[in-house]
Amino acid sequence: MSEGEKDLTGIGELQALLGRGTEFEGKLIFQGRVRIDGTLRGSVFSEDVLILGPSADVQADVEVGTLIVRGGSLKGDVTAHRLVEIYAPAKVRGDIRTNQLFLDKGVTFEGNCSLLEDAEAAPETPESAAEEASADE
């Protein structure tokens, strides 16, 4: 693999793996790449990559940089600051907020999807411009 390519789904650089038959309840906070093939209940926070495998059973609100769902089921709201990819036969129930979304043919998705607003791209309101001008004086 060349330097420019990223393997977002490979297991080669996993920081943690919750394998099939594993159960976790609580708040999962991590850096790097984590794959879940077991059961997780609670919440997940990271700026990096979360991968849900074919046997994953997740009931959690998820806030990550990238979410890749390779199957299994996810019930909970998702905020992914970069990307969400969902592949058949995954089942996702909950609202998704992200910059990019890919849904494979055959995915079951129940919820709403909205694009995150880029704070830098948001137009400046007249009120905020007036506040900044008065602060400069």
Could you state, in order of their start, the residue ranges of all structural domains in the chain? Answer: 16-136
Best CA proximity match to 39, nearest among 54, 24, 60: 24
- The one-digit pLDDT tens for each residue of the chain (137 residues) are 444 445 555 555 777 888 889 999 999 999 999 999 999 999 999 999 999 999 999 999 999 999 999 999 999 999 999 999 999 999 999 999 999 999 999 999 999 999 987 653 334 444 444 444 444 44
Kindly report the pTM of this predicted structure. 0.77
- Cα–Cα distance measured from residue 32 to residue 109, given in angstroms and rounded to the nearest whole number: 26
Tokens read off for 22: 């594993």
- The DSSP string of 33-48 is EEEE-SEEEEEEE-SS
The answer to whether 18 and 35 have CB atoms below 8 angstroms apart is yes
| Rg value, the chain, Cα | 18
Alpha carbon distance 6, 24 (integer Å): 28
Residue 103 identity: L
